[in-house]
Structure 1
């Protein structure tokens, strides 16, 4: 049977109080019995003294005198007179003729009397076969022994008073009651604490607690507060862990965690995807990265007894480039992260190429401007000649300014496309604005612009970017199309989501389809009239393509059967 905390306290205190009360009762009864026994012995001593005094008055041993004095004593009092060697001289319970008893010198009370002068004993008499309380006292030449039968009457005399017993019992019951209340109070905090922990496990609701205002209650309250704080911390940790796992699953990095013993703890699907791209044979075990020879450098780092806790390497496989990083934690567990850096590397190379191209493109106008200015400075030219070289230098400055503007725009389109605000834009109005700005240049080349885009062709876009699209297309025709390269702009189709446009000219077109796919690359030029001499920056069509892509569209270039070049593109409404 299992006892609870309250029962253990109650029974423990009850046992302690019972032992204490029993000890007191036992001690008190023993002392009371001893006290009453001494009082009775004192009474028997008086009897023996009276008998001895009566015998002293007579010079001889007179039985009649003894009987006369005994007659005044209690009737059941037994009187025995012994010689100094223990022979029985007189016994009032035995007739004179039958007075032939054994020597009493070995009786306990006689032995005590020999040593102390008096002695007592309770035992059954060998003479009368009755139980007596004996008292013997030694005198000069004899022993006088008096005895009372140890019957109910004598027992009652020696019996302790029950008043003290009743008092102890009452105190015992009061103590038990107090112990019960005390154990109930002490166990209240424990019981509530137990109920709190049990109910908290099976219930999501907050459990109310009302602990006593004492030290144990304070401890219990503190434990409950600590438990609530711990549960809150655990829920927060679980929530953050769930967030972390969701982040890992949706991350664009392949991530795998390993224990210190190199066991897989957690990984996402992208980690296995990247591994299988690099491996010759497909695998479903992330730990293959710790055994395959392809990752030997990584494995050597992990096995090294001393390392800085971080290692990074690159692997190129299947036309892709991967960056692999490993971080070792304080408990020797570690994580391995794989990134597909193919696009990033291409972007880096593209930027490197673009930087080189920009330097190359800037060098030409700057060199020309320098040459013109040096000519003006070093030679004595006429006013007309000076003006000629100044105009040449000015035109190169305009080209340089246009190049810088185009580079700024394409950089902004690629790196911060979100910076462009979108609004309702009329494509027909944008085309008319471009026509107005380039009307003079078009007339110089005898080019007509035919705009058949309806006025209700509205879409949500950035007006400046849409203007740049048509401006660069028109500029491209003016510079490379040649004389009378008439322009035709139309919206030839639309659906629920897109407008479909055609921009065509009657220019020279492009000889060779191999150039069409590269037409939108930065600084890409082809022969047959498309050189720097025409003044282009080499970025116009690249701006067109990127601006259309920002509007969720696409563009392609094709040669027309009738001659010239046609651009087909779509823009989201």
Structure 2
């Protein structure tokens, strides 16, 4: 069983400590004053007896005359009937003793008495003691004169004792003042104890991180203690506000890290988890080919050995390694990962894993695109250069040949212009998609406009277009991009599908958000092995025939990117000899 600790509260300990000190001081002071008062009264009474001695020495011309001494006693000391008078010559001869008046010479041990010794040393002295002859207590007072010592003694009875005692009213007054001071101090310490109890309760609740109602539980009080308390409360409030703000920011940070596009793992110096997001574990599982049971198992992944070795080196010799950042590249299961590790000053560290597979693919695509653009530009530029060179080097060339070469140069320049225009459209779609203005568009009206523009080309190939779109059919999009979608699909059929074919354009389905379109022709179609690459830039099923017809190889790439820009989707179906069909969606106008 746990024994409950019993202890005296602080304000009670303070009160008892100060009370003890006060009682010691007050008691010592009262005793001192009491004794001082008593000594004062004794000294005062001794002065009175000394006055009697002085008057006797002054008034009596002959201290050896016993009759004159007795006369003096009867006349001047009548109010002191019990007074005892002794006159001693310095030769230790007792001249007179009022209790033995007939004695002439009495040799006794007077010189051993304290009052006589003091008189011989200091000129006067006193002592309270018993008389040697009567054993009665007396107050003796002795004074030394030339050749004589006069000693006066008064019985030390109850009346004299009362006279020489200190005034008891002083003790009563001191007691009352002491009680009042003790009461006042107890009241002060009780208030102090109440404030301390509240402050202790407040600090306990603060330590336990419990909710504190400021108005009812804050230990406010007056005076300096209240000022100190208010400072503590204000500091605590600021700490609480800061803690709440940090907690909010911590939650935001953790939420951000959890949904970060890179895998993050933060570990302490002893390699225990501090924060690990889901993407970090997913990437680690992919790299290790197994499902990790916990995040600490990442230190057992073989591919992580260079990073783990770097962490060990930094932790073992932190002062010798200034660069505390290391990264490695890992290729695993068709993916490329960049793993970066940072070791902090407290030897904790952070892993970040980025899947750069798409970035690598983009780099390769850009290289390929650059090569394709260079190749595509090379053909028309070379043709123009060749024809112009022939004209320049052969001034006698016939007019018919000259005109023919110039016409070919013009055709190649047109092809070059179309190529640059299509490249410009693709670049704008990919890099500045947010710069396009969207508006309410009637697709049926747009298609009618395109059909009117290409009417001559359709007649040359005997192509019949069946526009089965409802009228009107409103979508929200950019005019030039929507125009490019339908124009490139029609130009593609005119260029590659063959002659005497039919084209069918319809909207076969409608939902709350999208229209579903179908574009189909009955042309030559394409083999299935080419379908996956049909939307790639500069990809051609029949490269020689496409260049001969003047195509840029970018039309279907523009179609796909324009549809994706409008949050739609597209797919293609085709088989050789049976034509081709594009199915795509465009968003409706929603209120």
Structure 1: which 5+ residue stretches go unaligned? Answer: none
Distance 1:242 1:96, change over 3 A: farther
Following superposition, the deviation at residue 219 of structure 1 comes to: 6.2
**Alignment match, 1:551:** 566
The structure 1 residue matched to 2:516, chosen from 492, 495, 500, is: 500
Measured in 2, the distance between the counterparts of 1:453 and 1:54 equals 160
Distance 1:81 1:355, change over 3 A: same
How many angstroms does 1:279 deviate by?
0.7
Task: Please state if 1:230 is matched with 2:239.
Answer: yes
**Structure 1 segment 59-458 matched on structure 2, within 5 A:** 59=64, 61=66, 68=74, 72-81=78-87, 92=98, 103-125=109-131, 127-138=133-144, 143-160=149-166, 203=211, 207=215, 224-302=233-311, 303-304=313-314, 305=317, 306-380=321-395, 381-458=397-474
Bigger mean CA deviation after superposition, 60-69 or 383-392: 60-69
| Separation (CA, whole Å) in 2 of partners of 1:268 and 1:86 | 118
1:149–1:292 Cα change, 3 Å = farther
Instruction: Please tell me whether the aligned partners of residues 523 and 580 of structure 2 are also in contact (alpha carbons under 8 angstroms).
Output: yes
Q: Deviations over 1:136-163 (max 9, x none)?
A: 2345666443222333432343345578
Contact 2:524 2:576 in 1 (8 A): no
* Alignment correspondent of 1:41: 46
Of 469-478 and 43-52, more deviation after overlay is shown by 43-52
The CA deviation at 1:85 is 7.5
Give, in angstroms, the shift of residue 567 of structure 1.
2.1
SS in 2 for 1:298: helix
Q: 1:461 aligns with which of 474, 477, 480?
A: 477
Distance 1:284 1:124, change over 3 A: farther
Distance (whole Å) between structure 1 residues aligned to residue 346 and residue 366 of structure 2: 42
User: Greater CA deviation, 156-165 or 402-411?
Assistant: 156-165
Q: Is the 8 A contact 2:92 2:107 kept in 1?
A: no
2:112 is paired with a residue of what secondary structure? coil
What residue is the counterpart of 2:3 in the other structure?
none
Mapped partners of 2:570, 2:293: distance in 1? 42
> What secondary structure is seen at the aligned counterpart in 2 of 1:460?
strand
Structure 1 residue 235: Cα displacement: 2.2
Match of 1:486 among 499, 502, 506: 502
- The change in CA–CA distance for 1:288 and 1:530 in structure 2 (over 3 A counts) is farther
Higher mean alpha-carbon deviation, 309-318 vs 499-508, is at: 499-508
2:533 is paired with a residue of what secondary structure? coil
Structure 2 CA distance for partners of 1:111 and 1:268, relative to 1, 3 Å: same
SS in 2 for 1:531: helix
Contact 1:17 1:175 in 2 (8 A): no
Question: With structure 2 as the length reference, what TM-score do the two structures score?
Answer: 0.82
Query: How much has 1:44 moved relative to structure 2?
Result: 1.2
C-alpha contact (below 8 Å) 1:556/1:568 kept by paired residues: yes
CA distance in structure 2 between the partners assigned to 1:413 and 1:249 by the alignment: 31
Contact 1:87–1:103 at 8 Å: present in 2 too?
A: no
Task: Indicate the RMSD between aligned Cα atoms, in angstroms.
Answer: 4.0
**Structure 1 residues 323 and 159, CA gap change in structure 2 (3 angstroms):** same
Residue by residue over 1:24-58, the C-alpha shift from the partner in whole angstroms, topping out at 9 and shown as x without a partner, is 65555444444433332122123334555687636
Count residues with an aligned counterpart: 570
Residue 80 of structure 1 deviates from its aligned partner by 4.2
Query: In structure 1, what is the equivalent of residue 581 of structure 2?
Result: 566
CA distance in 2, matches of 1:327, 1:395: 60
Deviations 1:288-330 (A, max 9, x none): 3334331122123222431412222211112111111112233
Structure 1 397/152 Cα, relative in aligned 2: closer, same or farther at 3 Å? farther
Structure 2: stretches of 5+ with no match in the other structure? 1-6
